[in-house]
Structure 1
Amino acid sequence: MPLFTLKDKQIAAVKSTQFGAEGIQERTGLQAALRDNINVISPDTMVLSEEFSGWTEGARRIDLLGIDKQANLVVIELKRDEIGAHMELQSLRCAAMVSTLTFKRAIEIHQQYLDKRGIAKGFEEEILGFLGWSDPQEEQFPTDVRIVLASANFSKELTTAVMWLNKRDLDIRCVRLQPYKLGNDLLLDIEQIIPLPEAEEYQVRIREQAEAQRAAARSSRDNTQYEFLSQVYNKRNLVLAVVTQYIHDHPQATLDELRQVFPDFLHSSFRVVAPIEKALEKGQKRYFLDESQILRTGDNQTVAVCNQWGIGNIGPFLDIAKQLGYGITAQ
């Protein structure tokens, strides 16, 4: 949207410009300015780190990593160019990388960031105060991961991809940063274009409604329960019961032997059983991780059973369970 001046009853257009033409560098200019004024593109956000790369593989860095008042991590990617090339792909990779970040690790990251900038603050107290917490609440952190893309402009391909991803319950915002030249001053028009601010609340409600409908559809597809050893289970708990019983019947079975009995192909994404370290990375949404549900193999390895089972993958597991001699009856 163009800007105009109004003076002496005259309206004159303010000339738009580009960051490169004005000598504004992406990292040392634009990023440094936004880092210290982050709320202009992401309200109610605190910067945890800059140029963050807390993983061991790859050279990709997050321009700015923050948290918001709802304890969401905020991945902020910046571009000074005119199309925001590939920002959505880069940010998705980064969001996946930080999704398992713990509160303790967030404090360490923020401490390193403040130390590097020579800022003397109580880093843990600052984060707790920002979130309104009296004590760390590790189990509530992070609530989720949000993405903010800030660029001079965005290509149609990028905006189409972002809108499609947002319909599938991601939270990605596109903020346009358009510079203007007025005499010796550089003006900056900052506008959130996706989602449109006036439609944001409505879109959140639509997302929540759509997710509820998908959840209802999933649950209505197949509610078959199974009787095993005189107990009735749903699909996910049946898998846990069968694997638990097998380990009880074969106390010397190693993890490798267990994976031969219950092959990885039964669940190509998460496997039937996984070492506890791997399972903890994915969390309780993927594995049974209550203390009473964690199992130990004959070679003294602690393992967790995958809890992602439905009509599409329970059949092959039932076949193997029956081959092992376990009587399972559908109810």
Structure 2
Amino acid sequence: MYSIKDNQATKIEHVTFSDLKMTENDIEEILRCNINMLCDEEESLLIVGRQVKNEKNGRSDLTAVDNNGNIVLIEIKRDKKDIENRKEAFEFQAIRYAASYAKIESPDELVKLVYAPYIEKYRSEFELGELTSYELGIRKLNEFLEANDVINFNVKQRIILAAGEYDEQTLSAVAWLNKNDVNMSCFQLTPYPINGETIVKAEKLLPLAEYNDYYVNLMDKATRYVSKREKTITRKVLPKIDTMLAWGAVKAGDIIKAKDSNDEVELLKNGNVKVNGEEMSMQTWLKNIYGWSSIQTYNFAVHKESGKTLSQIREEYMEKLANETDDSVEQ
């Protein structure tokens, strides 16, 4: 990362969370309040639990439900040293917790065991009114599931690992698990000190297209363990709102509505929106409306004039571009 001033680039070196005197608990609280750091605008997440204990006294860091109705376990480690000093592997610890959540068969059960206690613990963050924690929890969870058209609840469980850095053995194991249909992601959180503030870069390491890039090789004579990283790694990245504006698929000044809501805002030329005179990202605007931890921005932002979601507009425009490319190749 570089700081640019008067056309001069100054490299900003990253630090560790240990250098910043931050604990795993500190990172956990940051992610609890900002879980969108670990997902993109194509995903909705609702945080429903923190430090949930199972019958064997294991504690999962954060618990969420995603837009497919699956329970998501988020496990956190501060750095590689914390990972390597544990007797139990980071990824296996998360798998044990996920196995406990596999027994939850209904939203009602999740609310009773996990979400209601979470709401009670953080009741100052919720508007309970005359409702009990259970009543509010079941209402909010059902609204989330209905808005995302979820039919089957908790068919599979997902795991997200977040750490300041990883050891090669963990990345190798997670790559193998993904290739064998275990849905586990690795996010690396890298802090940078900039002008008295801490900027955190959240980078998704896994899953990727090339799982082999993270496999740890077998020993070859006197060669030490080496992780293969030479291949070019490709990711499927959908165009964002700035690209859609550049295409002309949407325009600055267009009105954007929240799906199934009367709330609407003006789209700005930088891709943000204006809400009561204040500029903010569409993700933040929609999160405030629905009260979720993270939201599928392009599925819940509706272009008022066309009545289509931004996701539909993007898909149609990408198809149009693909057809134009095919036509030019044929000619």
**Alignment TM-score, normalising by the size of structure 2:** 0.55
Structure 2 residue identity aligned to 1:192? K
2: CA distance between counterparts of 1:136 and 1:159? 31
Q: 1:199 to 1:143 in 2, by over 3 A?
A: farther
Matches within 5 A, 1:1-331: 3-27=1-25, 29-42=26-39, 43-53=43-53, 55-57=54-56, 59-82=57-80, 84-85=83-84, 86-102=89-105, 103-108=107-112, 109-118=114-123, 119-121=126-128, 122-132=136-146, 140-196=152-208, 199=234
The number of residues matched between the two structures is 195
Shift of 1:201: 5.9
Shift of 1:176: 0.3
1: CA distance between counterparts of 2:76 and 2:139? 28
- Any gaps of 5 or more consecutive residues in structure 2? 129-135, 210-232, 238-331
How big is each residue's C-alpha offset from its partner over 1:145-174, in whole Å with a ceiling of 9 and x where there is no partner?
000000011111111100111111111100
Shift of 1:184: 1.0
Q: 1:101 to 1:11 in 2, by over 3 A?
A: same
2: CA distance between counterparts of 1:196 and 1:98? 25
Contact 2:63 2:72 in 1 (8 A): yes
Structure with higher RCO (Cα < 8 A, 6+ apart): 2
Identity in percent? 26
Contact 2:104 2:154 in 1 (8 A): yes
- Any gaps of 5 or more consecutive residues in structure 1? 203-331
Q: 1:126 to 1:41 in 2, by over 3 A?
A: same
Q: Over alpha carbons, which structure has the higher Rg?
A: 1
How big is each residue's C-alpha offset from its partner over 1:278-298, in whole Å with a ceiling of 9 and x where there is no partner?
xxxxxxxxxxxxxxxxxxxxx
1: CA distance between counterparts of 2:190 and 2:32? 17
2: CA distance between counterparts of 1:141 and 1:31? 26
Contact 2:108 2:138 in 1 (8 A): no
2: CA distance between counterparts of 1:190 and 1:44? 17
**Alignment TM-score, normalising by the size of structure 1:** 0.55
Contact 1:65 1:73 in 2 (8 A): yes
Specify the SS of the correspondent of 2:13. strand
For the aligned residues, what is the CA RMSD? 2.3
Q: 1:32 to 1:160 in 2, by over 3 A?
A: same
Specify the SS of the correspondent of 1:33. helix
Structure 1 residue identity aligned to 2:110? A
Contact 2:67 2:150 in 1 (8 A): no
Structure 2 residue identity aligned to 1:52? V
1: CA distance between counterparts of 2:137 and 2:236? 32
Shift of 1:16: 0.9
Specify the SS of the correspondent of 1:11. strand
Bigger mean CA offset, 67-76 vs 117-126: 117-126
Contact 1:128 1:134 in 2 (8 A): no
2: CA distance between counterparts of 1:106 and 1:37? 22
Contact 1:16 1:180 in 2 (8 A): yes
Contact 1:15 1:182 in 2 (8 A): no
